[in-house]
Structure 1
């Protein structure tokens, strides 16, 4: 369905759409939190909450090892899947660092998932997460 680069482009587009051009780091933190909540909803029936938590922790660990300067404040997150803690820590970063780290974590999460279940199934399971970002609020009925 998607190559790794296409998945990365989708992730970047999804994150950008959820950030909605805001220059506020809190919006980036909110975007990644909502994406992981959507990922959790999509994947829990397939790999369970412990599987998702393990992928999340591994993604954070790999990102921290590649980007040690960014990883310093995230060391507490490796213990569990606390996306609210991730949100709080991202909110303390610059907008560029928060965007970069968010995209890296999401790309790594997708790559790990694709390694476990295959890229086609991973893309299909996460399609709702990406599509959710591109669907706006439901159209309102103005005929009244």
Structure 2
């Protein structure tokens, strides 16, 4: 995912926060995306593979958003720990939640691309990315 796409994800997450900047809605959207990713990739790389990529993505995104490191530290290495992510995102301002969520997704995309190639990553994740970016701001989850 290029930087422009990372900004698009961040903007889409901010829209989910609404006018009042609700970080809980942003947190729900990020968790929903991760659930879709797990559903999509688990048959291909297994639950353990998805969990490992999630943990590594948390670590990488935590370098620019240190508050994400606490999620990484609190979750078991063999599990995604989406509830811990959701609560940590909800504690942030809407701007920080959107930036951290977008950074986490960007780190995941870059990591998966380095493992299976950009073209295959794009094909596997295309429906998730398109649904999320084209989704109306009033919805909190992916279809």
TM-score w.r.t. the length of structure 2 is: 0.79
Which residue of the partner structure matches residue 65 of structure 1?
Answer: 63
Contiguous gaps of at least 5 residues in structure 2: 137-143
Asked if the contact 1:55/1:109 (under 8 Å) is kept, the reply is yes
Relative distance call for 1:82 and 1:72 in structure 2 (3 A) is closer
* Number of corresponding residues: 130
Q: How far did residue 18 of structure 1 move?
A: 5.1
Relative distance call for 1:135 and 1:97 in structure 2 (3 A) is closer
Asked if the contact 1:42/1:125 (under 8 Å) is kept, the reply is yes
Q: Write the mapping of 1:123-134 to structure 2, written as runs, cut at 5 A.
A: 123-133=122-132, 134=134
Q: How far did residue 12 of structure 1 move?
A: 3.8
Structure 2 distance, partners of 1:86, 1:126, is 21
Structure 2 distance, partners of 1:105, 1:119, is 17
Q: Write the mapping of 1:51-130 to structure 2, written as runs, cut at 5 A.
A: 51-68=49-66, 70-71=67-68, 73-74=70-71, 75-77=73-75, 79=77, 80-130=79-129
RMSD: 2.0
Contiguous gaps of at least 5 residues in structure 1: 137-144
TM-score w.r.t. the length of structure 1 is: 0.79
Q: Which has the larger radius of gyration?
A: 1
